[in-house]
Amino acid sequence: MEFLTGFKEDERMGKFLIIKKHAAITVCLLLVGALLSVGLTGISKAEPSYAGTIIYAGCRQSSYGISPFPNENEWERDIMTMASYWPGSQGTGIWIVGTYPETGVTCYLEFPAPDGPYENIAFDNVDRHENYLAYFDTHGIKVWLQVEPAFADMCTLIDLVLDRYENHPCVLGFGVDVEWYRYTKQQSWGQQVTDAEAENWEARVKLHNENFTLFLKHFSWDWMPPNYRGDIIFVDDSQRLRNLDAMVSEFATWASKFYPNDVGFQYGYPADEKWWGKLANPPKDIGDALDDAIPNNMGVYWVDFTLRDIFPPLEDDTTPPVIENIASSEITYDSATITWDTDEVCDSVVNYGTTTALGSTESDVLKVISHSITLTELSASTTYYYEVKSTDCSGNSTVDDNNGSYYTFTTAAPDTTPPVIENVSTSNITYDSATITWDTDELSDSVVKYGTTTPPGLTESDNTMVTAHSIILTNLSASTTYYYEVQSTDPSSNTAVDDNNGSYYTFTTAAPDTTPPVIENVDSSNITTNSATITWDTDEIADSLVKYGTTSGNYTDNEYDSAYVTSHSIDLTDLIENTTYYYVVKSTDPSNNSSESSEYSFTTLETGATIMHVYSITMFLETHGVNTNALAEVTIHDADENPVPYAMLYGHWENATSDSDSAESDANGVVSRWDLQSDSIKNPPSGTTFTFVVDNIVKEGWTYDPEANVETSDSITVP
């Protein structure tokens, strides 16, 4: 966030918002900053240093942001024009389907109600979005469906929206504008999303489609979940920024808070038009500056409030597109690719034929500026004539027929040359399998004929057209010599056979495996009142069996997993609390060789005992004049990854300093960085490292399990 930037304006209500909680604190911090030049920098564990890419580009849509509301063609023009600025980016919309009506506790969904009453949710009499989404389905546009939730239950909103629209291929997922989450006049920035809420909402979205993503939007990262990240996309819609540099700084700081997650940025607000209005191409110039500064993959979205200031109404556009750079390439005996460019987003049409009457057409409705149409099922050794045509979203068309002479290309002669086979090899030979590999100079399929005599009579094949071929032979006999040849056929049905000049290639399978797996690193973990996890390793792939019981040497129960692995894990459930269990582990390899461990034991917890561990440690550097010290922020979770409040943490500092700290976690399970600070070092040289180590966590009725820690220590280095 831009440091004490001043104020931000709400999109509709023009709210007067102060960045810090109290104006008095803001003034004091400004004075301290002026006098002492205090800097606080959060450093991620793997600080990014490479350039990111804009992978989504488009517009933010709302029912209140633009009037008259654009039709499908206008949205298409604006979204795909945004995408055209960054080749390869997906044309995308943040599409608001549920709004907060500025008063009360209700989210207003802009489609008719399904059966049943819904608390704090109202509905429209008509579906305002179905026609647009159906159009986007067939025109290459993607959308996230966003709500302004008010006091409606979030999982209910997710289900209502996605149940109605998840069938549309254009839908990427679901978004929440957190500014309106449980909004009141007293809580005018909305309510912060907890880790548990974020994880629950994301799981609910993915329940509809595992490929859907959730985005959370706000102008302050403090309203985002403190630790949970998942696959969430974090969107910043800050405004009232002084200039482009201030916007880049604000958004880059936001991105660093959530790296390596994808991020998104809304811009183009009227409050910033005083400076972006002076840019040559505001959407592109701002996006380019963000792309240079931010390592995360990101999306950029122009807001609808000023959309027609950037992209004029369709009816104002009477100029046809300019076509240039027409070319034919990738010409084969039966196909060719036609490419061209336009100066605005348009569709793509190629009319072609073997005479100047043309007669055949290939087209693509996707609106782009770089056009590509592949013509197929052509005749070999034949000259084709063609023209290209592009129509913009306002209906203006241009046809380029090379001034009446048409453009031409000639297909190649028929392919009668078989593939060239080389580098035939055998690898990964076991007692019952082997892998045969070879290369070809063109795409072709893969066939291996093999057997224990010549000519071989067994066949394994793969119809996939490749140049690097691999076929695995299985169910072979141990200690046996096999003969084989390889074959490849190209798409023109030309076949090459390599049988090693009639001698065939050979390999001999290994002797039978009679060595049992070696079991090591047997351990029990995640112990609760009624469950435990048993883990161990083997030196070869093998199955997993745990035999266990409450009496030493008497194993009355067992759990089994048939999967062949080297890292084994078995969960034991329905155990008795405060009881000692004895167990052995057993693994059998694919050759039926078995090993069994010696006996181990563990004791389940007694009711009331709860396990806690360190979920995360985040490190910071703080500089006061010539003095620098480090700060650590620690989050404590229980076994179900819920925050553990009011637990006392004890730790110490290493490397640069050797002091100790202790502090209690807050209601969110977070031990504040202001309570865990190292001693200061005067003018520390670059490379000086501060390390914080957690020694113990204490809470009455709870057990600290350091083996469950995500991390027990963390470090930060002076740049």
Q: What is the per-residue pLDDT across 468-520, written as a single tens digit (0 to 9) for each?
A: 999 999 999 999 999 999 999 999 999 999 999 999 999 999 999 899 999 99
Half-sphere exposure of 522 (CA within 13 A, CB side): 20
d(CA 638, CA 708): 10
Residue 493's pLDDT is 94
CATH fold match for the domains 317-411 and 421-508: yes
Band of pLDDT at residue 542, cut at 50, 70 and 90: very high
| Cα–Cα dist 60/74, whole Å | 13
Q: Where are the domains of the chain?
A: 54-309, 317-411, 421-508, 519-604, 610-718
Task: Report strand pairing: 54-61 vs 39-42.
Answer: unpaired
Q: Which of 695, 556, 642, 662 is nearest to 194 (CA)?
A: 642
**One-letter amino acid of 147:** V
Q: Pick 317-411's CATH classification: 2.60.40.10, 3.40.50.300, 2.40.50.140, 3.40.50.10860.
A: 2.60.40.10
Instruction: Report which residue type is found at 24.
Output: A
Asked if pLDDT for residue 10 goes beyond 80, the answer is no
Mean pLDDT, all residues of the chain: 91
Q: What is the CATH number of domain 54-309?
A: 3.20.20
* Residue 649 confidence class, pLDDT cut points 50, 70, 90: very high
Report the share of the chain in percent with pLDDT over 90: 85
Contact 411, 333 (CB under 8 A): yes
Q: Which of 307-311, 537-541, 608-612 has the lowest mean pLDDT?
A: 608-612
> Is the whole model's pTM more than 0.75, yes or no?
no
User: Which range has highest mean pLDDT (181-185, 286-290, 623-627)?
Assistant: 286-290
On the question of pLDDT at 95 being above 60, the answer is yes
Cα–Cα distance for residue pair 475/431, rounded to 1 Å: 9
Confidence of residue 184 (pLDDT cuts 50, 70, 90): confident
Q: For the domain with range 519-604, which CATH number is right: 1.10.510.10, 3.30.420.40, 2.60.40.10, 3.40.309.10?
A: 2.60.40.10
Q: Are 588 and 573 in contact (CB under 8 A)?
A: no
CB atoms within 10 A of CB 473: 21
Q: Is the peptide bond before 643 cis (omega within 30 degrees of 0)?
A: no
Question: Is pLDDT at 209 greater than 80 in this prediction?
Answer: yes
Looking at the predicted structure, is the pLDDT value of residue 88 above 70?
A: yes
User: What is the structure's pLDDT at 639?
Assistant: 83
Position 52 confidence tier, pLDDT thresholds 50, 70, 90: low
421-508: CATH topology is Immunoglobulin-like (2.60.40)
Judged against a pLDDT cut of 60, whether residue 39 lies above it is answered with no
Residue listed under structure tokens 């569709």: 347
| CATH node for 610-718 | 2.60.40.10
Distance CA 391, CA 542 (A): 62
pLDDT surpassing 70 at residue 11 = no
| Run of H or E residues at 209 | none
DSSP lists the bridge partners of residue 547 as 558, 584
pLDDT higher than threshold 70 for residue 603? yes
Sign of CA dihedral 149, 151, 157, 158: positive
Q: How confident is the model at residue 202 (pLDDT cuts 50, 70, 90)?
A: very high
Rg over CA atoms, the chain: 33
Which tokens hold the place of 660? 């100790």
Percentage of the chain with pLDDT > 70?
Answer: 92
Q: How far apart are CA 108 and CA 111, in angstroms?
A: 9
Residue 259 has pLDDT above 80, yes or no: yes
Two tokens, residue 305: 């409030």
pLDDT of residue 22: 31
State the average pLDDT over residues 389-410. 97
DSSP 571-584: EE-SPPTT-EEEEE
Res 2: pLDDT = 29
Provide mean pLDDT across the span 152-163. 96
Taking alpha carbons only, the member of 195, 199, 235 closest to residue 218 is 235
- What pLDDT, on the 0 to 100 scale, is given for residue 502? 96
